Structure formats: C-alpha cells, structure tokens
C-alpha cells in the first residue's frame, strides 16, 4: 500500500505539471536568418532631415540707417535680456541701445544641414523687421543670437531649445541682377550648431541577435565607436573621423554592409561586386559595396587598376584609396594629369579626401598650375583643407580670411560668397598700379595714389564718425590693401600688427572689383557662387514669433585649423 501511494502521488504531480501553460519563447531571443543580407534590408537609418531655424537679434555698427522699431512683445523680451546681462553698476540704458539709429532689430533664418556635427557651420539670411524705419543694414554686424526650430514657433514667450548660435558680419548681395536689397543680408558660416544630430539604425524586426550581429559587423569594419546596440530595436551610430568630410557616403556604406556567414560567402560577394564594377553602367553602387567590405576587397580591386577603361580604373582606385591603400594614387594622378579626361575633378577630390597629406600635396600642387580654372580651384580647395604650405592664410579683422596661393599662371582674385568669407589671391603677390583713384558708392571706401607717391592712401567714410577715417597708407600690393582697409582700428595695440580702417568684407569686395575693372589691379576678378541662403523665404509676417535670442557682444571669427573645412 505504501508503494502504491507513492506512485499515485508521482502520477498526480506529473499530471498537474502537464496541465500548466507553457510560455512561448521570446521572439527577441531567436536567431533569425540574417546572413547574406545588407544592413539596409534589416534596419533603416533614422536621422533628422535638414532643420529650418529662425531667430531674432540686434545688428550693430550701422551708419545711422537702423531703427529700434519692432513688435512690443519682442522689444520687451530684448529689454529684459539686456538688463539681465548688464552689470549692476552699468549706466547703459537698454532702451537707448535698441533705439539707436546705429542698430536694428532683425530676423535671422538658416537651415541646419543633415548629419550636422557640433560646431558645424551654415549660412544665414538676415533681414530687418518688416514695416520699420530701418533703411539699410549694410556694414552691420549681428550680435550673438539663438536659432530655434522654425516649425515650432508659436509665441515670443514660448520656451524652445536653441539648436544653434548665430553671429557675424553681414554680406550684401551686390552682384545680383538688380540693385541690392539694403534691408537683407547674409552671414557666411554665421550659424554654429550647438548639438550633434543623433543617427540611429532602427531594426525592422526587434531582435537581440540581429542587433548584436549588425553592431559587431560595423565595429569590425569602421572602428569601435561606430556602433552601439542600445536595445534589441536600435543601434546608435557614430561617424568616424575618416568620414567627417564624407558623411553622406558613410550612411550609404552602413546600408550596404553585408552580414556574411563565412569566408566563402564573403569572397563570393566580393567577386559579384567586382563583376558589377566591370560591367554595370552605374558603377558607384558597386564601388560603395566594395568599400563597405573594406580590406578583404583590395585584391579584387587591385586587378581592376590595369583595366583598359578609365572609368573602371577610376572607381577601383578611388575605392582602394578610401579603404586606405595608396597603390591607387598613381592611377588617380594620371587621370588628373590627363587634360582630356572627364574625371579630373572627381580624381582631385578623391586624392584630397583620401590620401595622406604628403601624397595629396605632391599630386595636387601640379594641378594648381593647370590653365583650367575649375581644376586649379578644385586643387586649391583640397590643399587648403590640408593646410598645404603653398597656401598662406591670414585672418583679417577677425572677420574673413585671405589665402595667397603660390602658383603659376594668370593672376586671379577669387571671392567666396558661401560657407565662409574668404578672398583667394592666385599667383602669389598681386601688385597694384601707382596712379590710382577708385571709390565705391557713397565714398565708403576710397583708394588714391598720384604718380610718385610711395604708398597708396585708403580712406573710409562712416556717418557715425564726424570725419573720414584715415588716410592710412598701404603698399602697392593687393594683400596689403585688403589688410589696411579691413583690419580693426585697434589692431596696432597688438605686437607686430598695424591698425586698419575697419571696412567690411562687402566693401573691400566692391573696391577690388572696381580696381580690377579699371586696370588698377591687373588680375581677373572672379565671384564664387552665391550662398544657398538666398533661397530662404521669411515666415509669414502675421505669425506670432517666439522669445528672441540673447544678444551678446558682436562675435568674431577665430582662427582655426578647421575653419572652412
């Protein structure tokens, strides 16, 4: 009976356990079939689009053409901010600062680009508040202002997180089809991004195994800080330093990265892409696919360097260089030197972004001597980015750069009107004639020299000053004319510096244009393309606006190795 009781109890317990509900396995822990697929099939890249931003601020240093008129709520916010910033012992009346004819309240517009990193810059459009007595903002400088997302503006007192700062000297559009709008201007590189844009991969099907596999593949290919699996649904991405100048390309490489199960499948993938590079009419996709694989694809790419088709050789060489193999440099150099090639500009950019500094300098310096300006300009831009010794860069007045390029060929003065303010002097020193009289509208800036004068005299007129500023003497040299006209008046207090007239970038550009047209400077005057900020459309004037930005001291561009890169 005792044995029977024990067996009966075992049967009953077993029956009870069998009746319990079995919990299904968490699908997030499954090992799905993910190999042989690109990351783009398993996840999508989540990133912010370009963001339109807006702000309000105060433009100073105007020649009596400003106005303190603005909506009452905006004025109240400006006054409150100014009072908070002033020391308790200050005698400055904030109302006087706003009401001065030498300042104007303005709206500021810009677009933060996709994939922006902290510290990246973008161009701004600035205009005076509509229906006010401000007649011109020419020659002004924007005090530091905050830029906020345009689509979220509701009211002046609304709190919205600042996405960027805005400041800098205004540039007028003096070379358009008609007279310049004196109430609208631009600041090249005047917007500075406050926070980096977050980039993530969002898995199409949530799964721990897939997230880890993708993370491991990306880290193996691009480095340890490239990918971080924060959940079974999301992988945070970081852009490696090597791709900071090719952010869009990096995102494309991420999407094309294949998850391969073994060496055989990897080699099969490489051969498939190499064949596509040989035979497909659109070769960039195959090139990106091979670059996403990295060093294992170098053997197949090297075989293509000897192909009879220049297009195939170019794509293979660029891909190898981007992976880090400099065997491709000879192929790219031959393309750059071939004046009949249609791939010269792309080859210059490939060398500039992919080669080591010494190799880039050796190859691209020859392109500086090219008689085709587009080739010369492309080589200069890449060499300037790497800090090549043939380019002497000087910061003028804290506002813009002058690059003097030591190269053969005709003398050229190039004016940048996008990204950041810069005057480039191709051909080294560019002399000026010794019998000169040139002035720009309203005599804001005048250059004068009679025969026999040892120096050129420069005079600036600004209605805020009772008398003309100057004259100051400059050498008969284009760089010294620019420096003397635009350096700050107090620059002489610094060791080795001479004072200047404090003229604006816009005014020196007008003066140089006039001097070239009249033959006072024997050089070709070239204007770069106008900033994309000209396309920005102000928001509806009837729409309420948010609390304005915080005006601070007028900002200066600081010399930096990263400026303009």
In residues, how long is the chain?
565
The pLDDT tens digits for 403-441 are: 999 999 999 999 999 999 999 999 999 999 999 999 999
| Within-domain flag for 124 | no
Whether residue 452 sits in one domain with residue 374: no
In angstroms, the Cα distances linking 378 to 125, 248, 372, 381, 408 are 27, 20, 10, 5, 15
Q: How confident is the model at residue 463 (pLDDT cuts 50, 70, 90)?
A: confident
Same domain, 251 and 301: no
Measured CA to CA, the distance from residue 402 to residue 395 in angstroms comes to 7
CA atoms in the 13 A half-sphere facing the CB of 234: 8
- Tell me: do 244 and 344 sit in the same domain: no
The residue behind tokens 């109430």 is 183
Instruction: Based on the fold, state whether residues 420 and 517 are members of the same structural domain.
Output: yes
Edge to edge, the sheet with strand 400-405 lists: 391-396, 400-405, 422-426, 412-417, 524-530
> What would the mean pLDDT of 526-552 be, rounded to a whole number?
69
Q: 230 is in which domain, residue-wise? A: 25-47+198-259
| pLDDT tops 90 at residue 231 | yes
The contacts of residue 42 (CB under 8 Å, 6+ apart) are 34, 203, 204, 205, 210, 214, 259
Question: In the chain, how many domains are there?
Answer: 3
Residue 11 has a pLDDT of: 44
Per-residue confidence band for 86, with pLDDT thresholds at 50, 70 and 90: confident
Higher local confidence (pLDDT), 22 or 463: 463
Residue percentage of the chain with pLDDT more than 90: 73
Quick check: 9 pLDDT over 60?
no
117 found inside a domain: no
Rounded average pLDDT over 379-392: 96
| Confidence class for position 160, pLDDT limits 50, 70, 90 | confident
Q: What is the pLDDT of residues 124-155, one digit of tens each?
A: 999 999 999 999 999 999 988 889 999 887 76
Token pair belonging to 71: 């909506």
260-283 mean pLDDT: 94
Tokens for 153? 């503006």
CA distances 213 to 34, 219, 225, Å, are 9, 10, 15
Residue after which a domain boundary falls, among 392, 422, 450: 392
Question: Is 53 part of a structural domain of the chain?
Answer: no
Give yes or no: residues 401 and 303 share one domain: no
| Residue 492 pLDDT greater than 80, yes or no | no
Long-range Cβ contact pairs of 559-564 (< 8 A, separation 24 or more): 559/395, 561/387, 562/119, 563/401, 563/420, 564/189, 564/384, 564/385, 564/401, 564/419, 564/420, 564/422
> What pLDDT was estimated at residue 29?
56
Dist CA 335 CA 348 (whole Å): 9
Same domain flag for 288 and 375: yes
Q: Where does a domain end: 244, 259, 274?
A: 259
Q: What is the CATH number of the domain that holds 312?
A: 1.25.10.10
User: Using one digit for the tens of pLDDT, what is the confidence trace for 435-449?
Assistant: 999 999 989 999 999
What is the three-class DSSP state of 121? strand
Q: CA triplet 423, 136, 535: central angle to 5 degrees?
A: 60
Residue 134 C-alpha from the chain's centroid: 31
Is the pTM higher than 0.85? The answer reads yes
Looking at the predicted structure, is the pLDDT value of residue 392 above 50?
Answer: yes
pLDDT digits (tens, 9 = 90+) for 331-383: 999 999 999 999 999 999 999 999 999 999 999 999 999 999 999 999 999 99
> What does the pLDDT read at residue 347?
98
């Amino acid at each position: 009976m005792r044995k029977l009781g024990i067996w009966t109890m075992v049967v009953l317990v077993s029956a009870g356990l069998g009746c319990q509900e079995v919990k299904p396995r968490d699908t997030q822990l499954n090992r799905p079939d993910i190999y042989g697929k690109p990351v783009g099939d398993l996840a999508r890249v989540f990133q912010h689009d370009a963001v339109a931003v807006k702000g309000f601020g105060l433009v100073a240093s105007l020649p009596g053409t400003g106005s303190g008129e603005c909506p009452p709520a905006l004025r109240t916010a400006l006054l409150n901010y100014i009072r908070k910033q002033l020391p308790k012992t200050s005698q400055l009346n904030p109302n006087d600062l706003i009401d001065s004819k030498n300042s104007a309240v303005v709206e500021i517009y810009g677009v933060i680009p996709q994939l922006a990193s902290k510290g990246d810059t973008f161009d701004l459009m600035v205009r005076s508040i509509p229906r006010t007595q401000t007649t011109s903002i020419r020659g002004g400088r924007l005090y530091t202002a905050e830029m906020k997302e345009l689509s979220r503006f509701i009211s002046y007192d609304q709190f919205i997180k600042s996405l960027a700062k805005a400041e800098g000297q205004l540039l007028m559009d003096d070379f358009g089809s008609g007279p310049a709008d004196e109430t609208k201007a631009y600041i090249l590189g005047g917007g500075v991004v406050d926070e980096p844009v977050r980039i993530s991969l969002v898995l199409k099907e949530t799964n721990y195994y897939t997230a880890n596999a993708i993370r491991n593949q990306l880290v193996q290919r691009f480095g340890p800080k490239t990918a971080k699996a924060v959940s079974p649904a999301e992988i945070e991405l970081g852009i490696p330093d090597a791709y900071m100048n090719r952010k869009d390309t990096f995102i494309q490489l991420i999407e094309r990265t294949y998850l391969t199960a073994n060496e055989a499948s990897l080699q099969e993938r490489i051969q498939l892409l190499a064949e596509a590079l040989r035979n497909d009419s659109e070769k960039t996709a195959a090139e990106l696919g091979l670059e996403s694989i990295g060093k294992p694809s170098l053997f197949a790419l090297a075989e293509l360097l000897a192909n009879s088709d220049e297009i195939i050789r170019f794509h293979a060489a660029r891909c190898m260089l981007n992976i880090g193999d400099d065997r491709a440099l000879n192929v790219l150099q031959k393309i750059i030197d071939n004046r009949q090639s249609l791939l010269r500009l792309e080859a210059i950019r490939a060398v500039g972004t992919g080669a080591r500094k010494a190799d880039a300098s050796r190859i691209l310096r020859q392109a500086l001597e090219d008689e085709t300006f587009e080739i010369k300009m492309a080589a200069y831009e890449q060499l300037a980015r790497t800090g090549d010794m043939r380019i002497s860069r000087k910061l003028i007045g804290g506002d813009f750069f002058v690059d003097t390029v030591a190269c053969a060929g005709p003398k050229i003065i190039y004016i940048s009107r996008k990204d950041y303010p810069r005057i480039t002097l191709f051909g080294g020193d560019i002399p000026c004639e010794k019998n000169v009289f040139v002035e720009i509208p309203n005599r804001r800036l005048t250059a004068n020299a009679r025969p026999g004068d040892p120096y050129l005299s420069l005079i600036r007129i600004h209605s805020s000053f009772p008398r003309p500023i100057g004259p100051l003497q400059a050498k008969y040299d284009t760089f010294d004319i620019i420096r003397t006209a635009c350096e700050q008046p107090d620059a002489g207090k610094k060791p080795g510096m001479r004072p200047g007239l404090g003229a604006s970038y816009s005014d020196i550009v007008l003066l140089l244009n006039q001097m070239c047209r009249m033959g006072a400077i024997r050089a070709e005057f070239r204007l770069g393309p106008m900033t994309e900020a000209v396309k920005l459309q102000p928001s509806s004037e009837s729409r309420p606006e948010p609390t304005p930005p915080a005006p601070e001291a007028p900002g200066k561009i600081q010399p930096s190795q990263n400026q303009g890169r």
